[in-house]
Chains A and B, each alone.
Chain A
Amino acid sequence: MKDSGHELDRLLELWKSELELGDGQLTAMRLDILAAEPTALTPEWWMDQFAGLQTVFQMTSPIRA
Protein backbone atom coordinates (compact mmCIF):
# COMPACT_ATOMS: atom_id res chain seq x y z
CA MET A 1 0.00 0.00 0.00
CA LYS A 2 2.82 2.39 0.80
CA ASP A 3 3.78 2.88 -2.88
CA SER A 4 0.24 3.00 -4.25
CA GLY A 5 0.30 6.81 -4.51
CA HIS A 6 3.45 6.71 -6.62
CA GLU A 7 2.05 3.89 -8.72
CA LEU A 8 -1.11 5.89 -9.32
CA ASP A 9 0.98 8.92 -10.35
CA ARG A 10 2.91 6.74 -12.79
CA LEU A 11 -0.30 5.34 -14.30
CA LEU A 12 -1.85 8.78 -14.54
CA GLU A 13 1.21 10.01 -16.43
CA LEU A 14 0.74 7.13 -18.88
CA TRP A 15 -2.96 7.89 -19.15
CA LYS A 16 -2.19 11.53 -19.81
CA SER A 17 0.35 10.72 -22.51
CA GLU A 18 -2.24 8.49 -24.25
CA LEU A 19 -4.81 11.27 -24.26
CA GLU A 20 -2.62 14.20 -25.20
CA LEU A 21 -2.88 15.45 -28.74
CA GLY A 22 0.25 14.73 -30.77
CA ASP A 23 2.25 17.29 -32.75
CA GLY A 24 0.85 16.05 -36.05
CA GLN A 25 -2.73 16.25 -34.78
CA LEU A 26 -2.20 19.74 -33.41
CA THR A 27 -0.55 20.98 -36.59
CA ALA A 28 -3.39 19.62 -38.72
CA MET A 29 -5.99 21.04 -36.32
CA ARG A 30 -4.33 24.46 -36.43
CA LEU A 31 -4.51 24.53 -40.23
CA ASP A 32 -8.14 23.35 -40.21
CA ILE A 33 -8.98 26.20 -37.87
CA LEU A 34 -7.13 28.83 -39.86
CA ALA A 35 -8.88 27.53 -42.96
CA ALA A 36 -12.17 28.63 -41.38
CA GLU A 37 -11.30 32.00 -42.90
CA PRO A 38 -9.15 30.97 -45.84
CA THR A 39 -9.51 34.19 -47.81
CA ALA A 40 -7.70 36.11 -45.10
CA LEU A 41 -4.46 34.34 -45.92
CA THR A 42 -2.59 34.21 -49.20
CA PRO A 43 -1.88 31.08 -51.30
CA GLU A 44 1.85 31.53 -50.66
CA TRP A 45 1.23 31.46 -46.91
CA TRP A 46 -0.77 28.25 -47.26
CA MET A 47 1.99 26.65 -49.35
CA ASP A 48 4.48 27.42 -46.57
CA GLN A 49 2.11 25.91 -44.00
CA PHE A 50 1.55 22.71 -45.95
CA ALA A 51 5.28 22.31 -46.45
CA GLY A 52 5.61 22.52 -42.65
CA LEU A 53 2.79 20.03 -42.16
CA GLN A 54 4.46 17.57 -44.53
CA THR A 55 7.65 17.82 -42.47
CA VAL A 56 5.78 17.08 -39.23
CA PHE A 57 4.14 13.98 -40.68
CA GLN A 58 7.41 12.77 -42.23
CA MET A 59 9.06 13.10 -38.83
CA THR A 60 6.30 11.24 -36.99
CA SER A 61 5.47 8.62 -39.63
CA PRO A 62 6.71 5.06 -38.99
CA ILE A 63 7.46 4.78 -42.71
CA ARG A 64 10.52 6.82 -43.62
CA ALA A 65 11.77 7.39 -47.13
Chain B
Amino acid sequence: MNQPIDGKRGREVDLFDHLFSNYQRLLFAYIFGQMGDRQAAEDVLQQVFIKVWRHIGKAREKSDEALRNWLFSIAKNAVIDARRQRLPKLFALDEHLPDTRQEVHSQAEDSEALEKISRVVQLLPEETRVAFTMSVLGDMSSDEIGIVLGKPAGTIRYLVSEARKRIMMEIER
Protein backbone atom coordinates (compact mmCIF):
# COMPACT_ATOMS: atom_id res chain seq x y z
CA MET B 1 0.00 0.00 0.00
CA ASN B 2 1.57 3.28 -1.02
CA GLN B 3 1.34 6.47 1.03
CA PRO B 4 0.26 9.03 -1.55
CA ILE B 5 -0.49 11.74 1.00
CA ASP B 6 0.97 12.65 4.34
CA GLY B 7 -0.73 11.69 7.60
CA LYS B 8 -2.39 15.02 8.32
CA ARG B 9 -3.80 15.42 4.82
CA GLY B 10 -4.87 11.79 4.84
CA ARG B 11 -6.88 12.35 8.01
CA GLU B 12 -8.45 15.44 6.48
CA VAL B 13 -9.50 13.47 3.41
CA ASP B 14 -10.93 10.78 5.71
CA LEU B 15 -12.87 13.42 7.64
CA PHE B 16 -14.12 14.98 4.41
CA ASP B 17 -15.23 11.56 3.16
CA HIS B 18 -17.01 10.93 6.44
CA LEU B 19 -18.91 14.22 6.16
CA PHE B 20 -19.63 13.73 2.47
CA SER B 21 -21.03 10.23 2.87
CA ASN B 22 -23.03 11.03 6.02
CA TYR B 23 -24.44 14.41 5.09
CA GLN B 24 -24.72 14.64 1.29
CA ARG B 25 -28.24 13.18 1.28
CA LEU B 26 -29.47 15.37 4.16
CA LEU B 27 -27.97 18.51 2.68
CA PHE B 28 -29.28 17.65 -0.79
CA ALA B 29 -32.78 17.23 0.67
CA TYR B 30 -32.52 20.62 2.40
CA ILE B 31 -31.07 22.39 -0.64
CA PHE B 32 -33.54 20.77 -3.05
CA GLY B 33 -36.36 21.92 -0.81
CA GLN B 34 -35.04 25.46 -0.90
CA MET B 35 -34.24 25.57 -4.61
CA GLY B 36 -37.07 23.40 -5.96
CA ASP B 37 -34.82 22.29 -8.80
CA ARG B 38 -32.64 19.18 -8.94
CA GLN B 39 -29.81 20.52 -11.11
CA ALA B 40 -29.57 23.69 -9.06
CA ALA B 41 -29.55 21.61 -5.88
CA GLU B 42 -26.68 19.48 -7.20
CA ASP B 43 -24.67 22.59 -8.06
CA VAL B 44 -25.27 24.13 -4.65
CA LEU B 45 -24.45 20.86 -2.89
CA GLN B 46 -21.11 20.79 -4.69
CA GLN B 47 -20.43 24.39 -3.67
CA VAL B 48 -21.23 23.52 -0.07
CA PHE B 49 -18.74 20.66 0.02
CA ILE B 50 -16.09 22.73 -1.73
CA LYS B 51 -16.40 25.16 1.18
CA VAL B 52 -16.28 22.26 3.63
CA TRP B 53 -13.13 20.89 2.01
CA ARG B 54 -11.46 24.29 1.96
CA HIS B 55 -12.18 24.71 5.68
CA ILE B 56 -11.92 21.08 6.70
CA GLY B 57 -9.47 22.03 9.45
CA LYS B 58 -12.35 23.73 11.29
CA ALA B 59 -14.33 20.49 11.33
CA ARG B 60 -11.77 18.48 13.28
CA GLU B 61 -12.58 19.86 16.70
CA LYS B 62 -16.35 20.04 16.34
CA SER B 63 -18.88 17.83 18.10
CA ASP B 64 -21.49 16.02 15.98
CA GLU B 65 -24.08 18.67 16.79
CA ALA B 66 -21.70 21.52 16.02
CA LEU B 67 -20.72 19.81 12.77
CA ARG B 68 -24.33 19.50 11.69
CA ASN B 69 -24.99 23.15 12.52
CA TRP B 70 -21.86 24.17 10.65
CA LEU B 71 -22.81 22.19 7.53
CA PHE B 72 -26.38 23.43 7.42
CA SER B 73 -25.23 26.97 7.97
CA ILE B 74 -22.88 26.68 4.99
CA ALA B 75 -25.78 25.20 2.99
CA LYS B 76 -28.11 28.02 4.02
CA ASN B 77 -25.64 30.66 2.86
CA ALA B 78 -24.93 28.80 -0.37
CA VAL B 79 -28.68 28.68 -1.10
CA ILE B 80 -28.98 32.42 -0.48
CA ASP B 81 -26.09 33.07 -2.89
CA ALA B 82 -27.50 30.74 -5.52
CA ARG B 83 -31.01 32.15 -5.29
CA ARG B 84 -29.72 35.66 -5.67
CA GLN B 85 -28.22 34.60 -8.99
CA ARG B 86 -31.15 32.46 -10.12
CA LEU B 87 -34.18 34.39 -8.88
CA PRO B 88 -35.59 35.52 -12.25
CA LYS B 89 -35.24 31.99 -13.63
CA LEU B 90 -37.06 30.42 -10.71
CA PHE B 91 -40.04 32.73 -11.04
CA ALA B 92 -40.13 32.10 -14.77
CA LEU B 93 -40.22 28.36 -14.08
CA ASP B 94 -43.31 28.66 -11.90
CA GLU B 95 -45.14 30.74 -14.49
CA HIS B 96 -44.67 28.11 -17.17
CA LEU B 97 -45.74 25.09 -15.19
CA PRO B 98 -48.60 23.37 -16.98
CA ASP B 99 -51.95 23.33 -15.23
CA THR B 100 -52.44 19.66 -14.42
CA ARG B 101 -56.11 20.26 -13.68
CA GLN B 102 -56.76 20.36 -17.41
CA GLU B 103 -55.21 16.94 -17.93
CA VAL B 104 -57.61 14.06 -18.10
CA HIS B 105 -56.30 10.61 -17.26
CA SER B 106 -58.42 7.53 -16.94
CA GLN B 107 -55.57 5.73 -15.22
CA ALA B 108 -52.67 7.45 -13.49
CA GLU B 109 -49.44 5.66 -14.29
CA ASP B 110 -46.43 5.95 -12.08
CA SER B 111 -44.53 8.26 -14.41
CA GLU B 112 -47.45 10.67 -14.57
CA ALA B 113 -47.85 10.50 -10.82
CA LEU B 114 -44.15 11.26 -10.32
CA GLU B 115 -44.41 14.27 -12.59
CA LYS B 116 -47.36 15.47 -10.57
CA ILE B 117 -45.45 15.02 -7.34
CA SER B 118 -42.58 17.10 -8.71
CA ARG B 119 -44.94 19.82 -9.86
CA VAL B 120 -46.84 19.97 -6.59
CA VAL B 121 -43.61 20.01 -4.59
CA GLN B 122 -42.31 22.92 -6.65
CA LEU B 123 -45.48 24.88 -5.97
CA LEU B 124 -45.60 24.23 -2.23
CA PRO B 125 -44.88 27.19 0.06
CA GLU B 126 -41.15 27.22 0.70
CA GLU B 127 -41.39 26.33 4.37
CA THR B 128 -43.62 23.36 3.61
CA ARG B 129 -41.45 22.21 0.71
CA VAL B 130 -38.24 22.26 2.73
CA ALA B 131 -39.80 20.32 5.61
CA PHE B 132 -41.27 17.82 3.16
CA THR B 133 -38.09 17.21 1.16
CA MET B 134 -36.02 16.85 4.33
CA SER B 135 -38.52 14.30 5.57
CA VAL B 136 -38.88 12.30 2.34
CA LEU B 137 -35.52 12.71 0.62
CA GLY B 138 -33.43 13.09 3.76
CA ASP B 139 -35.29 10.53 5.87
CA MET B 140 -35.00 12.99 8.75
CA SER B 141 -37.33 12.90 11.74
CA SER B 142 -39.53 15.87 12.64
CA ASP B 143 -37.27 16.54 15.63
CA GLU B 144 -34.14 16.62 13.44
CA ILE B 145 -35.78 18.85 10.83
CA GLY B 146 -37.11 21.12 13.55
CA ILE B 147 -33.61 21.62 14.94
CA VAL B 148 -32.21 22.57 11.54
CA LEU B 149 -35.12 24.87 10.64
CA GLY B 150 -35.58 26.29 14.14
CA LYS B 151 -39.20 25.14 14.44
CA PRO B 152 -41.06 22.84 16.82
CA ALA B 153 -41.36 19.21 15.74
CA GLY B 154 -45.16 19.55 15.81
CA THR B 155 -44.99 22.31 13.21
CA ILE B 156 -42.80 20.14 11.01
CA ARG B 157 -45.24 17.25 11.30
CA TYR B 158 -48.07 19.59 10.29
CA LEU B 159 -46.14 20.95 7.28
CA VAL B 160 -45.21 17.46 6.05
CA SER B 161 -48.78 16.33 6.48
CA GLU B 162 -50.04 19.33 4.50
CA ALA B 163 -47.61 18.54 1.69
CA ARG B 164 -48.77 14.93 1.59
CA LYS B 165 -52.41 16.05 1.45
CA ARG B 166 -51.76 18.37 -1.46
CA ILE B 167 -49.86 15.70 -3.36
CA MET B 168 -52.55 13.14 -2.67
CA MET B 169 -55.24 15.52 -3.92
CA GLU B 170 -53.30 16.14 -7.12
CA ILE B 171 -52.68 12.46 -7.77
CA GLU B 172 -56.28 11.49 -7.13
CA ARG B 173 -57.66 14.27 -9.29
Question: CB within 8 Å of B: which residues of A?
Answer: 4-5, 7-8, 11-12, 14-16, 18-21, 25-26, 29-30, 32-34, 36-37, 40-42, 44-45, 48
Contacts and interface: CB of A to CB of B under 8 A. Distances in A.
A41 to B, nearest CB: 6
Contacts of A5: 168
B23 to A, nearest CB: 12
Contacts of A7: 171
Interface stretch (B49-57, B67-75, B91-99): B49-57
B137 A36 contact: no
26 contacts: A4-B168, A5-B168, A8-B167, A8-B171, A11-B171, A12-B167, A14-B114, A15-B114, A15-B118, A16-B137, A20-B137, A21-B24, A26-B20, A26-B24, A32-B46, A33-B16, A34-B13, A37-B53, A37-B54, A40-B9, A41-B4, A41-B5, A41-B13, A44-B2, A45-B4, A48-B2
Interface residues of B, number: 32
Contacts of A12: 117, 136, 167
B28 interface: yes
B42 A21 contact: yes
Contacts of B49: 29-30, 33
B53 A33 contact: yes
A18 B114 contact: yes
Interface string B10-41: 00010011001000110010001000001000
B110 A11 contact: yes
A36 to B, nearest CB: 5
Contact of A15 (B17, B45, B117, B164): B117
Contacts of B13: 34, 41
A21 B24 CA distance: 9
Given A34-B53, A37-B53, A44-B2, A19 B24 contact: no
A16 B136 contact: yes
Closest 4 CB pairs of A and B: A45-B4, A44-B4, A36-B50, A33-B49
Contacts of B20: 26, 30, 33
